[in-house]
């Protein structure tokens, strides 16, 4: 029998919109798009790519900690980036800094807009807890 473990940050949007931040089913954790929001669910750092990416990764790290997982167990990421050509180098540098020597598969999509005015990045992940931490 497969067990399901749902994780939320406790933000109003989770219940208002009706979604979970992450769901672990079996050995896989599927993580919703993480973005630059604080503990109250308020969007932070409009138009500041580096600051948004840092807070986005910090929010994702909370998900990993909840499940006792590490970055080395991330198998896939999907990034949505406004003005991708302008931010391409920052995306690469952010990935290298966050993942170190680990290399998950990655899809980067340039988009015209995201949920909040000034939001320039959102990223989702799949984590395999059977991989070595």
For the chain, the domains span 4-128
Q: For the segment 69-108, what is each residue's pLDDT rounded down to a tens digit?
A: 999 999 999 999 999 999 999 999 999 999 999 999 999 9
Confidence class for position 56, pLDDT limits 50, 70, 90: very high
The span from the CA of 43 to the CA of 54, in Å, is 13
CA angle 8, 12, 18 (to 5 degrees): 65
Contacts of 74 (CB under 8 A, 6+ apart): 99, 102, 104, 125, 126, 127
Would you identify the CATH topology of the domain 4-128?
A: 60s Ribosomal Protein L30; Chain: A; (3.30.1330)
Average pLDDT over residues 53-58: 97
In this prediction, residue 14 carries a pLDDT of: 78
| Continuous H helices in 1-133 | 12-17, 49-67, 84-99
pTM of the model: 0.91
Q: At 121, list the tokens.
A: 């990045």
Average pLDDT over residues 53-79: 97
Torsions phi, psi for 122 (to 5 deg) = -150, 140
For CA atoms 61, 81, 49, 21, give the dihedral sign.
Answer: negative
Average pLDDT over residues 126-133: 96
Q: Give the chain's mean pLDDT.
A: 93
In this prediction, residue 3 carries a pLDDT of: 66
């Amino acid at each position: 029998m497969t067990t399901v473990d749902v994780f939320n940050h406790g933000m109003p949007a989770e219940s208002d919109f009706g979604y979970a931040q992450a769901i672990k089913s079996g050995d896989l954790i599927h993580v919703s798009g993480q973005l630059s929001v604080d503990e109250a669910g308020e969007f932070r750092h409009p138009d500041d790519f580096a600051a948004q990416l840092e807070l986005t990764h910090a929010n994702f790290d909370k998900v990993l900690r909840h499940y006792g997982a590490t970055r080395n167990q991330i198998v896939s990421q999907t990034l949505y980036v406004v003005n991708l050509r302008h931010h391409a180098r920052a995306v690469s540098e952010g990935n290298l800094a966050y993942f170190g020597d680990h290399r998950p598969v990655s899809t980067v999509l340039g988009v015209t807009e995201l949920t909040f005015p000034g939001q320039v990045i959102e990223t989702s992940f799949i984590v395999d807890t059977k991989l070595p931490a």
